[in-house]
Structure 1
């Protein structure tokens, strides 16, 4: 775990820039934290989905 992450700070812009320009999948994501009671992640959606 990086020093930044261990203190609860995240460079969301850097995470977003690390995602590819295109993807075959609906989305690409990265967890910022994953705990039993809660989680947080940054996602980039690549393909629209119809209403459901």
Structure 2
């Protein structure tokens, strides 16, 4: 069992720690069951958080 965590917090943690030990390509996959409006918000959030890393 896990506790809920905000997606933005997860994405920011990935951004901060992803290349600390490796310079290899990182692929993030998400399983989502979202409406198109929410999917657009997630895409905007990822673009804002990762910026040029994408």
**Aligning the two structures, in what range does the TM-score lie when normalised by the shorter sequence?**
0.3 to 0.5
Instruction: Name the structure with the higher strand share.
Output: 1
**Structure that is richer in helix per residue:** 2
Please give the TM-score of this superposition, normalised by the length of structure 2.
0.33
Q: TM-score, normalised by structure 1?
A: 0.34
Higher relative contact order (CA 8 A, sep 6+): 2
Q: Which structure is larger by alpha-carbon Rg, 1 or 2?
A: 1
